[in-house]
Chains A and B, each alone.
Chain A
Amino acid sequence: NAGVTQTPKFQVLKTGQSMTLQCAQDMNHNSMYWYRQDPGMGLRLIYYSASEGTTDKGEVPNGYNVSRLNKREFSLRLESAAPSQTSVYFCASSEQQGRYNEQFFGPGTRLTVL
């Protein structure tokens, strides 16, 4: 039982390049999330998927797109990377949306945009 996995662990991009961050969970969770973490800013929600087939914007969605490929997988795409997107990206999952929203995190992707 691997929990939440993310690939890649590290990535360096040049401004304008695109890439997709992959996330998968094996806990049969319905809801999945993408966060970014920057020094002094805490964890900020980019996008989330309450259930398979649905996605919604979070606090900082600009410059990103997501795809909920199936119940297990939720990817985050940067179409044209900018230096402001240099950050650590975490994927998380929870059994469901709602009051008992215990989220479990993947190991993170450290992205640098030059």
Chain B
Amino acid sequence: QKEVEQNSGPLSVPEGAIASLNCTYSDRGSQSFFWYRQYSGKSPELIMFIYSNGDKEDGRFTAQLNKASQYVSLLIRDSQPSDSATYLCAVTPTGFQKLVFGTGTRLLVSP
């Protein structure tokens, strides 16, 4: 079983819609959760982090964490074509010594 799992996509949404990106993780003791955005040919860019159960909002982005279900999601409201990228979920497992990345979900926002 992969430690961090994401649907590879692509997830296609029209401009202005809400994009919902999901991630599950296997280590129940994981403490920290991160979302990175990666444009094609570029490096990962940190966009959100969340440490506690519940929702965390930052502009058009909302991260949601449910530790009981071992599930973290990223909602992008009012999606724009410029949001088209691969979104990587990353988790700090028990021991805190590394980040474990999912393989990413490709998001396509059509005008």
Q: If the complex has contacts A99-B92, A101-B92, are A108 and B43 also in contact, measured as CB distance less than 8 A?
A: yes
Residues of B within 8 A of A41 (CB): 103
Interface string of B6-44 (1 = CB under 8 A from A): 001000000000000000000000011010000000111
- Least CB separation from A43: chain B residue: B101
Interface size class of A (residues with CB under 8 A): 20 to 34
- Give A17 Cβ to nearest chain B Cβ, in Å: 25
> How many angstroms from the CA of A8 to the CA of B62 in the assembled complex?
36
- Give B27 Cβ to nearest chain A Cβ, in Å: 14
Interface centre among A42, A90, A102, A103 (most CB of B within 10 A): A42
Contact B44 A102, beta carbon cutoff 8 Å = no
Residues from 64 to 114 in A contacting B, C-beta threshold 8 Å? 90, 97-108
Interface string of B87-103 (1 = CB under 8 A from A): 01010100011110111
Residues of B within 8 A of A44 (CB): 101
> How many angstroms from the CA of A41 to the CA of B6 in the assembled complex?
12
> How many angstroms from the CA of A97 to the CA of B31 in the assembled complex?
13
> How many angstroms from the CA of A33 to the CA of B99 in the assembled complex?
10
Tell me which of B45-53, B64-72, B73-81 binds A: B45-53
